[in-house]
């Protein structure tokens, strides 16, 4: 049997494709939800950081934000996964499915990066936009949500796309806490009959396809959001 | 720290009368170490058209931006329709100063040094000394604090509420780039629940029709010319039905051929009786529309007069120089 035939056999006959599909689902869910959580956390931190006149509460929040970014940018994602799954949660006597833990850790991790991206995005919006909105009587938070953040997101779509691609590829480490992702699925196919060449090449193709799709989506989103710039 | 000139224009015993829209008392503004405003006091009555002139860097825009608190004054108070927008400035209220520990100490000192002095005279001397030498400390006793709080509680109003009644037009238009013209106009009234979406859109279309831009309702601001943007910005403010409109150099960023259309709109607003405060370099507009002209230089009001006297018989030497350059 050739390598390809061996792969075909384990992929179809021994139902390896089921694992792969399940893994693909897990990979996409962790990456998409992770980015979603990350954008929410990142936007809140960035907004708190750029409040012009700080009072006691916002000052403390801003410090907490700094600390959070320091922790999550300063440690590898694998270490964060291991710590949450094997240390913090058992210490608190909480049992959560590893899939959910992975999603949350990826969300928290990307929140740290997105907060910096979002901050530069917000700062790239002309201060006059905020003044215009505040002068009409709209409170700070409403002005941010309705006027500033939509423009900031438009400015950072390419960078955010980058962040998503990184996140998508980084999910390949979730098998450390026993999540069945696409990497894990191909690993078990490869391990089943000691044939590595084809499964790992196909795995790489899967990631390449996913990333290409994301790149395309980002381009489309960029073009759509450029609408308001067009002369 | 309080200039004597303030005393002439502000009646301290009646800070709450209602015949003015905006009252500025003893306004100081520092940007870091740079002192931009050094004691400005003025009142703007309903229906007045006040034009603020002066060389650049003199503090014209800062005064305007303090009126709706886009800049926070360092000292002084801003009042709008009988409501206080800033924290209480103790130096502006004799009854607060009289409750301060420093005042009581100085008062008894002055009385023991000079027993012949009447209470009223002593009171006047001490208050003057405290104001001149900036003697009030952060903590001046319970009664002082209570007096401050009482005033604040009675008259302070949240700035977001006030800003709904103060329209502002900026040099660089500041139309929201992420919204269409219609979206720009309806955002604030709808979000603040002053109007339903349908009401707001109807009103917006009426206003757009008035400025002949109804065909631009659904385009984004980036497709408009400067003059069109500024006219939209003006009607966007009008959506809130403001009691006063502030104009911060509304024509300075426009091509010369577009200045006219914006000034026309401002004139028609003035004719409809809108109270206006305008920072501008358009002398023609000041002569034609203003009911009062202020000359601001070096952070103070150097001259204040009706346009006729202001332009024909300037008294201040800096104003004479300024007018000879620009006219």
Interval A43-70: pLDDT, tens: 999 999 888 777 788 889 999 999 999 9
Judge whether B24 and B78 are in contact, CB under 8 Å. Answer: yes
- Cβ-nearest to B170 among A132, A139, A147: A132
Q: What is the CA radius of gyration of chain A?
A: 21
The predicted pLDDT at position B161 comes to 93
The predicted pLDDT at position A229 comes to 65
Q: In what order do the strands lie in the sheet with B49-53?
A: B166-169, B244-248, B275-279, B49-53, B292-297, B300-305
Judge whether B233 and A135 are in contact, CB under 8 Å. Answer: no
* Strand extents, DSSP E, B147-221: 166-169
The predicted pLDDT at position B17 comes to 55
Q: What is the pLDDT of residues A219-230, one digit of tens each?
A: 998 888 776 665
What's the domain range around A203? 3-230
From its phi and psi, is residue B141 left (phi > 0), alpha (psi between -120 and 50) or beta? left
- Hey, how many other C-beta atoms are within 10 angstroms of the C-beta on A222? 13
Judge whether A30 and A103 are in contact, CB under 8 Å. Answer: yes
The predicted pLDDT at position A4 comes to 80
- Tell me whether B68 touches chain A (CB under 8 Å): yes
Model-level ipTM above the cut of 0.85: yes
Answer whether A231 sits within 8 Å of B223, measured CB to CB.
yes
- Tell me whether A147 touches chain B (CB under 8 Å): yes
A81 to each of A101, A105, A111, B64, how far by Cα in Å?
8, 6, 15, 54
| HEC-encoded secondary structure of B234-246 | HHHHHCCCCCEEE
Looking at the structure of chain A, the number of domains it has is 1
- Tell me whether A136 touches chain B (CB under 8 Å): yes
Q: In chain A, which residue's Cα lies nearest the Cα of B220?
A: A228
Q: Which residues of chain A have pLDDT under 50?
A: 231
Answer whether B160 sits within 8 Å of A138, measured CB to CB.
yes
Q: How near does any CA of chain B get to the CA of A52, in Å?
A: 11
Q: How near does any CA of chain B get to the CA of A157, in Å?
A: 15
- Tell me whether B175 touches chain A (CB under 8 Å): yes
User: Rounded to 5 degrees, what angle do the CA atoms B230, A139, A116 make?
Assistant: 95
* 3-state percent breakdown (helix, strand, coil) of chain B, nearest 5: 45, 20, 35
Which one of B74, B87, B174 makes the best mutation probe of the A interface by having the most chain A beta carbons within 10 Å?
A: B174
- Hey, how many other C-beta atoms are within 10 angstroms of the C-beta on B7? 14
- Hey, how many other C-beta atoms are within 10 angstroms of the C-beta on A103? 23
pTM of the model: 0.84
* Dist. CA B49–CA B44, nearest whole Å: 9
Q: How near does any CA of chain B get to the CA of A55, in Å?
A: 14
- Tell me whether B91 touches chain A (CB under 8 Å): no
- Tell me whether A138 touches chain B (CB under 8 Å): yes
* Strand extents, DSSP E, chain A: none
* Dist. CA B130–CA B127, nearest whole Å: 5
Residue B42 phi/psi, 5° resolution? -165, 165
Residues of A in contact with B174 (CB under 8 A): 126, 128-129, 131-132, 135
Tell me which residue of B170, B275, B265 sits closest to A133, measured CA to CA. Answer: B170
The predicted pLDDT at position A16 comes to 76
- Tell me whether B75 touches chain A (CB under 8 Å): no
- Tell me whether A134 touches chain B (CB under 8 Å): yes
Q: How near does any CA of chain A get to the CA of B260, in Å?
A: 23
What CATH number has the domain bearing residue A102? Answer: 1.10.3720.10
- Tell me whether A145 touches chain B (CB under 8 Å): no
The predicted pLDDT at position B8 comes to 39
Q: Helix, strand, or coil here: B156?
A: strand
* Dist. CA B301–CA A104, nearest whole Å: 60
- Burial, A209: exposed, middle or buried (Cβ in 10 Å; 0-12, 13-18, 19+)? exposed
**pLDDT tens by residue, chain B, 327 residues:** 444 444 434 444 444 456 789 999 999 999 999 999 999 999 999 999 999 999 988 899 999 999 999 999 999 999 999 899 999 999 998 889 999 998 999 999 888 888 888 888 889 889 988 888 888 888 888 989 998 999 999 999 999 999 999 999 999 999 999 999 999 999 999 999 999 999 999 999 999 999 999 999 999 999 999 999 999 999 999 999 999 999 999 999 999 999 999 999 999 999 999 999 999 999 999 999 999 999 999 999 999 999 999 999 999 999 999 999 887
Residues of B in contact with A128 (CB under 8 A): 170, 172-174
């Amino acid at each position: 049997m050739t390598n390809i035939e061996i792969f075909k056999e384990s992929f179809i006959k021994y139902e390896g494709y089921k694992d792969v599909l399940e893994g693909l689902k897990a990979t996409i869910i962790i990456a998409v939800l992770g980015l979603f959580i990350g954008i929410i956390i990142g936007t809140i931190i960035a907004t708190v950081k750029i409040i012009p006149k700080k009072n006691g509460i916002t000052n403390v929040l801003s410090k907490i934000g700094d600390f959070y970014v320091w922790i999550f940018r300063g440690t590898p994602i694998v270490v964060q996964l291991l710590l949450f799954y094997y240390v913090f949660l058992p210490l608190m006597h909480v049992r959560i499915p590893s899939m959910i833990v992975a999603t949350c850790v990826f969300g928290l991790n990307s929140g740290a990066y997105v907060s910096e991206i979002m901050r530069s995005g917000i700062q790239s919006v002309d201060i006059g936009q905020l003044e215009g909105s505040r002068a009409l009587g709209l409170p700070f938070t409403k002005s941010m949500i309705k006027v500033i953040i939509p423009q900031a997101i438009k400015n950072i779509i390419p960078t955010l796309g980058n962040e998503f691609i990184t996140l998508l590829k980084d999910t390949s480490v979730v098998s450390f806490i026993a999540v069945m992702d696409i990497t894990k699925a191909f690993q078990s196919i490869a391990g089943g009959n000691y044939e590595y060449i084809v499964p790992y090449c196909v795995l790489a193709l899967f990631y390449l396809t996913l990333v290409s799709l994301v790149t395309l989506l980002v381009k489309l989103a960029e073009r759509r959001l450029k609408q308001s710039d067009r002369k | 720290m309080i200039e004597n000139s303030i005393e002439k224009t502000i009646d301290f015993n009646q800070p709450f009368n209602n015949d003015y829209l905006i009252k500025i008392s003893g306004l100081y503004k520092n940007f870091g170490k740079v002192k931009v405003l050094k004691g400005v006091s003025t009142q703007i009555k309903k229906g007045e058209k006040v034009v603020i002139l002066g060389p650049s860097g003199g503090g014209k825009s800062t005064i305007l931006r303090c009126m709706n608190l886009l800049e926070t004054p360092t000292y002084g108070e801003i009042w709008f329709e009988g409501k206080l927008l800033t924290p209480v400035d103790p130096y502006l209220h004799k009854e607060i100063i009289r409750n301060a520990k420093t005042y009581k100490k100085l008062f008894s000192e002055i009385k023991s040094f000079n027993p012949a002095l009447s209470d009223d005279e002593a009171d006047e001397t001490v208050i003057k000394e405290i104001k001149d030498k900036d003697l009030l400390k952060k903590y001046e006793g319970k009664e002082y604090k209570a007096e401050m709080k009482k005033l604040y509680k009675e008259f302070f109003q949240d700035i977001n509420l006030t800003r709904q009644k103060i329209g502002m037009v900026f040099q660089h238009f500041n139309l929201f780039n992420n919204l269409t013209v219609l979206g720009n106009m309806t955002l604030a009234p709808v979000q603040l629940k002053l109007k339903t979406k349908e009401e707001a859109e109807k009103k917006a279309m009426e206003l757009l029709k008035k400025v002949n831009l109804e065909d631009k309702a659904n385009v984004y601001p980036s497709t408009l010319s400067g003059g069109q943007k500024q006219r939209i910005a003006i009607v966007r403010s009008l959506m809130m039905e403001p009691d006063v409109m502030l104009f911060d150099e509304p024509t300075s960023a426009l091509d010369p051929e577009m200045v006219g259309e914006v000034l026309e709109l401002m004139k028609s607003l003035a004719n409809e009786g809108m109270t206006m405060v305008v920072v501008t370099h358009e002398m023609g507009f000041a002569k034609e529309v203003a009911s009062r002209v202020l000359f601001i230089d070096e952070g103070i009001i150097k001259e204040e007069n009706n346009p006729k006297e202001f332009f024909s018989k300037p008294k201040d030497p800096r104003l004479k120089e300024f007018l000879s350059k620009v006219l």
